[in-house]
Structure 1
Amino acid sequence: MAPGDQDDTVVQELDVYLCNGALGHATQLYLLQYPLRPPWRPYGVDQADKVRLKPEAKKVEIKVPIDHGPGLVNFDDDADDTIQLEDLTLSSTHVDLKASFAAGMIQDGKLFLTPINEAVALRPQLKHLDTTPEAHPGLKTEEAAAFLPLHNLLLFK
């Protein structure tokens, strides 16, 4: 026993099982990261309306409803219905895994590990900020012209 190990006791020993392909040979397990949200303020993906996956491109899109429940106030209730958001689409970017990851589950004193194949970072799409008349049929042409398209803006430091 090495010095300092007196306080570091083994509390449980588990048999470990690697479940590589246990869900089918074509199964891909994705790690979903949300870098713009703290853990205490999730997006609510458990209530997702739609999930789209392009496995070859390794792209994920999740459409989540925006909570308008009691006690929550919409920014502008008087705004035109065509510009009030009811849902938010999260779109992925690929994350390079610098190490091997696995998802684990303990059941009946056994640890089951399944390798994670891909990791993606999900961020909100901001398509609602597109000011072209085709993007917002309810927006008048002169209102759309008042906004500069994002590609015409120059940013300086």
Structure 2
Amino acid sequence: MGYHSKFMTCCVKRVCNGCCLTTQTRGSNDCPFCRTSTDFPDYKSAIAMVRKRAEKKDPSAILSSATNISSDVPRAVEMWTEAAELGSLKALCALGNAHLNGLGGLAIDRAKGFEFWETASRKGHAYSRHNLGTSELQLGNCDRAAS
């Protein structure tokens, strides 16, 4: 998905490259999803737009902001938690990773990490499902990994 799509800071959505190309072919430089102009004067104004959406409790914007502050891992964990509470499946997966790897001062907690992955996979997050299957396979639980 990431290879064949573009993250639009205006609406905090991923839009396929084909839709972007079609819009450009028609002579427009607007977002194919929300029709907002994508001509930002600089990188800071694009970040400001995402922050404004995050302040309005948009889970995708909060997740995007958390991903961009890799130097402040405890703050990123807080933001992932907030995004997960607002319904972001990617944030649940990130919290699972954080608990399994002890990021941001968290104690390594396999049970809690697996719980986040299981919740996300039950709601349809494919990467969390993949993580669960791979982890079960590494633990030697081939039957559980296949299910």
Same fold (TM over 0.5): no
Higher strand share: 1
TM-score range, shorter chain: under 0.3
Greater relative CO, 1 or 2 (CA 8 Å, sep 6+)? 1
Q: TM-score, normalised by structure 1?
A: 0.25
Q: TM-score, normalised by structure 2?
A: 0.26
Which of the pair has more CA radius of gyration? Answer: 1
Higher helix share: 2
